[in-house]
Structure 1
Amino acid sequence: MRKTTVLAAAALAVAGAVPAVAMAGDGPVADSSGWQPKARNIVYIQGDGMGAAQREFVRLATTGRAGDLVMNRLPVTGLVHTDPGDPEALVTDSAAAATALATGHKTRNGAVGQDAQGRRLPTILEQAKRAGKSTGLVTTAQVTGASPAAFASHVPSRDLQSDIAKQYLAESRPEVLLGGGEDWWLPKGDPGAWPDKPGEESRSTHGNLIEQAKRSGYTYVRNASELAATRAPRLLGLFANEDMVDYGPDGKGAYQPKVALPVMAKKALDTLSANPRGFFLFLEEEGIDGMAHENNAHGVLDAGRALDAAVAEVLRFTRSHPDTLVIIGGDHETGGLAIEDTDGAPEGKEDGPFPVPGTKLSLTVDWTTGDHSGVPTPVTATGPGSDRLDGTIDNTDVYRAMVSAARL
């Protein structure tokens, strides 16, 4: 599956939203003695719920047959098994999947940073921190959600989001925390900066964690202008009361985060790269998963465009920092998405039609479930150590590739 040619040409812009950037290659190759270059920085980029069908749908609907996504133009391509270490399930949830990616160990669904017996597992983020690197978690989900949490906390249930926030502050201490989830940082009765929808409320079980974060050295920002203005070395930004995306079925849900994922990505890179020892950054687009749960293809398309724009932002960074390993993957597939020719008005769970640029054709998206599926997910990568992601691998191998590349 390895691509034999490293593309050095500018990446094709995605529907005008993704600026052209030069693609980074693998960096120096191993010499005859087996020496391999070391990755000073690692950026793991996750399209939550993004399987091969989601990537292909976004490609066809934005670039057409002749084009490709930025994330698809990297020199290494692999396929990742996603099943959990759960005796009662073959299909993973986000907690178990992220734990495997972050620690190299499979676990039961719902567990975060722990094995199936409840023992703590060291994470790639924590290992990077011990090596003197800076670290960050950036997501359009709640920053204490299952996927980012698995990289920087250890709890028996993904629902313990205030406990996760407390561990961020007291233990793992990422330099950058950007996303949604303000409700888990404030006690009941404190509305915070973001209004709650019906059924939502502030619910911290550890008091006012935002104030605790400030006292421990974090600069707190609440919106895009405050994020742009700050030059603080340690950032907490909460840009929604829960997830940053307004989920709902087609025609009701809307992908409209108050701070765009590429903007958060650039701020994180600017902040973390000040450390001469390098950094580890987890960067996630949650909207693909959330909209696929709702069988909302238009929402998946919008989230996919945003993710590819964030990938372009990261690859711009690698042009001047070639010692950066960049990995783009999906923790699992959501929705059982299928791409079909348009043969009339959509029926049942079908969405569309979506025009295919550069052709007279259109496509329709069909859904088989509102939940996760057990299919493997594609991974693409570039930079030192990216060759370890070539071929068909397990999700635990992604962790091992990162540790090996950075020699942690």
Structure 2
Amino acid sequence: MLGKKTSILLLLLLVLGCSGKKDETTSRENVAEPLNLILMIGDGMGISQVTSAFYFGEKTPNFKQFEYVGLSLTSSTSHLITDSASGATALSTGEKTYRRAIGVSKDTLPLPTILEQLQAKGYQTGLVSLTSLTHATPASFYAHVKDRDMHEEIAEYMVNANIDFLAGGGIKYLSERKDGHNLFDSLLKFNYNVDTLSLSKPVMNKQNAFILANDALPNKLEGRKDFLPEATKAGLEYFEGREKPFFFMVEGSYIDWGGHAMSDEMMIQEVLDFDKTIGVVLEFLKKHPNTLVVVTADHETGGASIGKYYEIDENGNKIEIPKKVKVNFNSDQHTAALVPVFAKGVGEELFKGIYENNEIYHKMLEVLGTKNASETISKN
């Protein structure tokens, strides 16, 4: 009789153990391969920029949906305080380089980018930016030039990069060129659906290029509507409809510009817009769990902090308002502050801790099961 009771007890313990709370980390073994990868870069977005979404937004920020959060150090090989070019190149290639470099090593040798590597494995690819698509952050995923201001050379890389979905600015670098070439003709020759007027519905059986501003798009204070979340949603629907894995980089560009302008209002509105876009991506993740979402920054801008809010009374006394806070800046430049790394989806647990920015690339490829290519690639 004792043996029977023992067996029943063991069975109950087994059932309870199986029905208890499971490990919330998404298992790479239990998700169908290949995986989608979405990398979101809040340009200039440090901890205080993220914090602003919690105090100035009307609802709980989407940032709060992440359970795995890390910090990265952003210094380049030439400067402790990096720029977007070297910062994004570290993210795209896994190798730190000098300030102003686009897709090249500290010795100016071309480096394979994660976009190019995954493209070679059959992935769809896409880039969304609020700046010109030839600007430092998006350019670092497809171009290989020694200086970020080589916009016309970068534009040549872009039209030859075979990217499936492009949305941003930069008309003048394709059509108002010193060499007299119109690179829109090249995009049409390569069978792209090209739109310079609006973010129209992507054509499913073509690659799509929505290049909607002469240079950068307007910032939120200048009246930009929901371009970033809408372009991101359009890209995700396009990739989803084509039923192939994809790599998608989305940049919230003007968080950085708000810091440079030392404009609390611009910074706040751009962070909230970026957070709204994160919401679009996380909704996609819920429907497609074979996806990794990584949200980070190339550097922090402005030395921002969230501090006490004061008003001056009728006697000229400074009075703290207990229920309000204020954004303060101590610079109009980039800083060496550590920046956050948020991860959700397959392999999310790899992104906790503190590490160098180039390690983000290696962590992403580890999740995807793709080894780093050691050889360099040739320039187009």
Report the TM-score when normalising by structure 1.
0.79
**Residue 375 (structure 1) aligned with residue 364 (structure 2):** no
Partner of 1:15: none
Distance 1:157 1:102 in 2: 16
The one-letter amino acid paired with 2:221 is A
Distance 1:153 1:237 in 2: 19
**Residue 228 (structure 1) aligned with residue 216 (structure 2):** no
Contact kept in structure 1, 2:28 and 2:367, CA below 8 Å: no
Distance 1:125 1:145 in 2: 16
Partner of 2:130: 140
- Match for residue 173 of structure 1 among 153, 158, 162: 162
Distance 2:215 2:148 in 1: 14
Q: Tell me, which stretches of 5 or more residues in structure 1 are unaligned?
A: 1-24, 188-202, 247-252, 346-352
Distance 2:253 2:165 in 1: 18
Contact kept in structure 1, 2:27 and 2:347, CA below 8 Å: no
Contact kept in structure 1, 2:135 and 2:151, CA below 8 Å: yes
Superimposed CA distance per residue, residues 66-101 of structure 1 (whole angstroms, 9 cap, x where no aligned partner)? x64202321210001100111xx2100000000000
**Residue 28 (structure 1) aligned with residue 1 (structure 2):** no
Contact kept in structure 1, 2:202 and 2:238, CA below 8 Å: no
Partner of 1:363: 325
Partner of 1:310: 277
Superimposed CA distance per residue, residues 332-353 of structure 1 (whole angstroms, 9 cap, x where no aligned partner)? 00011111111225xxxxxxx9
Q: Tell me, which stretches of 5 or more residues in structure 2 are unaligned?
A: 1-23, 313-318, 371-380
- Counterparts of 1:118-197 in structure 2, within 5 Å, are 118-170=108-160, 172-187=161-176
Distance 2:53 2:295 in 1: 15
Q: CA offset at residue 37 of structure 1?
A: 7.1
Contact kept in structure 1, 2:192 and 2:208, CA below 8 Å: yes
The answer to which structure has the higher helix fraction is: 2
Contact kept in structure 1, 2:204 and 2:242, CA below 8 Å: no
Distance 1:265 1:312 in 2: 10
Partner of 1:112: 102
The one-letter amino acid paired with 1:390 is K
Change (3 A) 1:230 1:304: same
- Match for residue 343 of structure 1 among 297, 305, 310: 310
Q: CA offset at residue 232 of structure 1?
A: 5.0
Q: CA offset at residue 311 of structure 1?
A: 0.7
**Residue 217 (structure 1) aligned with residue 217 (structure 2):** no
Distance 1:373 1:38 in 2: 39
Change (3 A) 1:204 1:288: farther
Contact kept in structure 2, 1:133 and 1:275, CA below 8 Å: no
Contact kept in structure 1, 2:300 and 2:337, CA below 8 Å: yes
The one-letter amino acid paired with 1:44 is L
Superimposed CA distance per residue, residues 261-306 of structure 1 (whole angstroms, 9 cap, x where no aligned partner)? 0100011111123444400000011010111110111111111111
Distance 1:51 1:370 in 2: 14
Q: Secondary structure at the match of 1:169?
A: helix
Superimposed CA distance per residue, residues 134-163 of structure 1 (whole angstroms, 9 cap, x where no aligned partner)? 000101111111001111111111111121
Q: CA offset at residue 36 of structure 1?
A: 8.5
Distance 1:115 1:47 in 2: 23
Change (3 A) 1:384 1:37: farther
Larger deviation, residues 304-313 vs 274-283: 274-283
**Residue 40 (structure 1) aligned with residue 35 (structure 2):** yes
Distance 1:108 1:150 in 2: 13
Contact kept in structure 1, 2:42 and 2:296, CA below 8 Å: yes
Q: Secondary structure at the match of 2:217?
A: coil
Cα RMSD over matched residues? 2.1
How many aligned residue pairs are there?
Answer: 340
Distance 2:304 2:127 in 1: 28
Superimposed CA distance per residue, residues 15-37 of structure 1 (whole angstroms, 9 cap, x where no aligned partner)? xxxxxxxxxx642266xxxx987
Change (3 A) 1:153 1:132: same
Q: Secondary structure at the match of 1:254?
A: helix
Q: Percent identity?
A: 28
Larger Rg: 2
Report the TM-score when normalising by structure 2.
0.84
Change (3 A) 1:72 1:80: farther
